[in-house]
Amino acid sequence: MIGNPTRFDLREAAAMADGFEDKLGYFQAITGIEDPDLCTDILSAHNWDLELAIASITSNAPSSSSAAAAANPFPAAASSSAPTPAVVAGPAPGIAWRIVTLPFYVVSGAVGLGFWIAGGVLNRTIGILGYLASPRGAEGDRLIPVSDSTAEAGDFVAAFERDYPADTRPRFAAEGFMDALLRAQREFKLMLVYLHSPEHPDVPAFCEGTLCSPPVVAFLTENFVVWGGSIRREEGFKMSNSLKASRFPFCAIVMATDNQRIALLHQIEGPKPPEEMLTLLQRVFEECAPSLIAARIESEERRNNQRLREEQDAAYRAALEADQARERQLKEEEDRLKREAEEAERKRKEEEEALARAAHEAAEKEAALTRRRQEKAMALGAEPDKGPNVTRVLVRFPTGERKERRFDCTTTISSLYDYVDSLGCLEAENYTLVSNFPRVTYGSEKHSLTLKEAGLHPQASLFVEIDS
């Protein structure tokens, strides 16, 4: 009687490690115990050591044991010295399927258990890759690595071809059982498992006359993935124990299901003529064909939907990228136009400011000239009346304009320049007064001379020459 240790919370187990859930599911598949709380208690009592927990259930299977009764909830015939097998029957397309409860991922080791648990109670619930119990620590307890399984399958194929060199023979998968099963699932085919017993007297005739029969080979090639194993080798031996092969030659038809389990469809035990073998294969295939066709159609629909989604996503991304590119172009154009407008505005303001500065400077200059003319006109004083000491001066400008004024004969030459400046008839600031006959230049060195001293009294005619 199994004790009732402290209940292990499955949520805590899931939080601790995903491997606990895998062990729980594997334990249920091996033992057939459906109550998850009971399985959790058993695993907890053995410190979650999966081998110890299974051994505690499988090493002794008395009929009065409540644990054994819980482990075999489905009635089936079995010997008293072996674990009670359980057959799960369920409706299928015209055939009673016996569902294998061992999940794919546990068998393949992909979820991290890291080893195969040998010695489980894999009975006619048919844990396809489970194995009969063997003494702990024995060679059979060890996991067969994928590479070893593949090598074993390759050795079997080579030996079969050597022993039966027929023109036609089944195309045995040169890979491990699990890889072959997954390939059958991908290709939407059934899988024929052939267990080879080299010493059995009926095997040679069955292999030569039935398995290598052209109609059988053609039908298998078209509709099945064929996997074979010798019961002399480890994987083939364990498969024979798992399938409870009692007569040879032995074949089993299996298929993968959508819930990550395996369905045992039919077992063929003992020698069969090729006609009967072909009839059995055709019957099972026809009964399963609707399911295979539906699975293929569903898979194709998923692929088509996935491809359609990918195409739609690609079209959406392309359209989005095109829209983004147009938006970038529009923004770049807007930014360019904005920069050009800002540059034009800046230049316009600079030109306006330059014009304003020039106008201001011109106005200031003009005002300064006006003030200077006024100052010089005021400095000249009033024009004297005619008299013996008054000099009459005529000034001719480059424009042809003439100006005349009377000056006291003691007035200096610089006063004549002040007079010309006060008139405002010249835009040039640098000029020189000259006389033609004789030509005399009245430059800065003569500004201090009086008109009389310069020989301009009583009258003089002067020209304005612009300095170059």
Q: Are the C-beta atoms of 164 and 228 separated by less than 8 Å?
A: no
Q: Is residue 72 pLDDT above 90, yes or no?
A: no
Residue scoring higher pLDDT (18 or 47): 47
pLDDT of residue 434: 94
Q: How far, in Å, are 33, 159, 374, 389 from residue 54 at the CA level?
A: 11, 36, 128, 152
Average pLDDT over residues 144-153: 74
* Structure-derived torsion over alpha carbons of residues 317, 318, 319, 324, reported in degrees to the nearest 10: 80
**Domains of the chain, first to last:** 10-141 (no CATH), 390-466 (3.10.20.90)
Q: Is residue 208 pLDDT above 90, yes or no?
A: yes
Q: Are the C-beta atoms of 245 and 195 separated by less than 8 Å?
A: yes
Peptide bond into 388 cis (omega under 30): no
Rounded percentage of the chain residues whose pLDDT exceeds 90: 44
Which of 89-103, 228-242, 251-265, 374-388 has the weakest average pLDDT?
A: 89-103
Nearest to 222 by CA among 262, 281, 303: 281
Residue scoring higher pLDDT (29 or 150): 150
Q: How far, in Å, are 79, 280, 307 from residue 244 at the CA level?
A: 12, 20, 44
175: left (phi over 0), alpha (psi -120 to 50) or beta: beta
pLDDT of residue 51: 75
pLDDT tier at 122, thresholds 50, 70, 90: very low
pLDDT of residue 7: 36
Which ranges of 253-409 does DSSP label H, i.e. alpha helix?
A: 274-380
Q: Is residue 135 pLDDT above 60, yes or no?
A: no
pLDDT tens per residue, range 281-331: 999 999 999 988 888 898 889 889 999 999 999 999 999 999 999 999 999
Average pLDDT, rounded, for the chain: 77
pLDDT tier at 55, thresholds 50, 70, 90: confident
Q: Are the C-beta atoms of 464 and 396 separated by less than 8 Å?
A: yes
Q: Are the C-beta atoms of 440 and 463 separated by less than 8 Å?
A: no
pLDDT tier at 123, thresholds 50, 70, 90: very low
pLDDT tier at 166, thresholds 50, 70, 90: confident
Which of 129-133, 270-274, 421-425 has the weakest average pLDDT?
A: 129-133
Nearest to 119 by CA among 180, 55, 191: 55
Q: How far, in Å, are 79, 346, 371 from residue 339 at the CA level?
A: 95, 10, 47
Q: Are the C-beta atoms of 124 and 79 separated by less than 8 Å?
A: no
Angle between helices 50-58 and 18-31 (to 10 degrees): 20
Query: Which residue do the tokens 């459906």 mark?
Result: 34
Rounded percentage of the chain residues whose pLDDT exceeds 70: 75
**Top-confidence range, 131-135, 261-265, 272-276:** 272-276
Nearest to 115 by CA among 23, 195, 43: 23
CA angle 230, 236, 239 (to 5 degrees): 140
What is the rounded distance in angstroms from the CA atom of residue 21 to the CA atom of residue 15?
10
Strands 390-396 and 459-466: parallel
Q: Are the C-beta atoms of 250 and 267 separated by less than 8 Å?
A: yes
pLDDT tens per residue, range 179-206: 999 999 999 999 999 999 998 999 999 9
**Residues contacting 399, CB < 8 A, separation 6+:** 425
**What is 59-115 written as a DSSP string?**
S---TT-HHHHHH--S-----TTSPPP---EEE-SSSEEEEE-S-HHHHHTTTS--S
Which of 54-58, 161-165, 225-229 has the weakest average pLDDT?
A: 54-58
Residue scoring higher pLDDT (124 or 405): 405
Q: Is residue 64 pLDDT above 80, yes or no?
A: no
DSSP state of 383: P
Residue scoring higher pLDDT (144 or 297): 297
HEC secondary structure over 135-194: CCCCHHHCCCCHHHHHHHHHHHHHHHHHHCCCCCCCCECCCCHHHHHHHHHHHCCEEEEE
pLDDT of residue 147: 59
Average pLDDT over residues 392-407: 91
pLDDT of residue 326: 94
pLDDT tier at 116, thresholds 50, 70, 90: very low
What is the rounded distance in angstroms from the CA atom of residue 426 to the CA atom of residue 396?
11
Token couple for 289: 């064909």
**Residues contacting 389, CB < 8 A, separation 6+:** 408, 409, 410
Q: Are the C-beta atoms of 399 and 409 separated by less than 8 Å?
A: no
**Residues contacting 45, CB < 8 A, separation 6+:** 2, 3, 5, 53
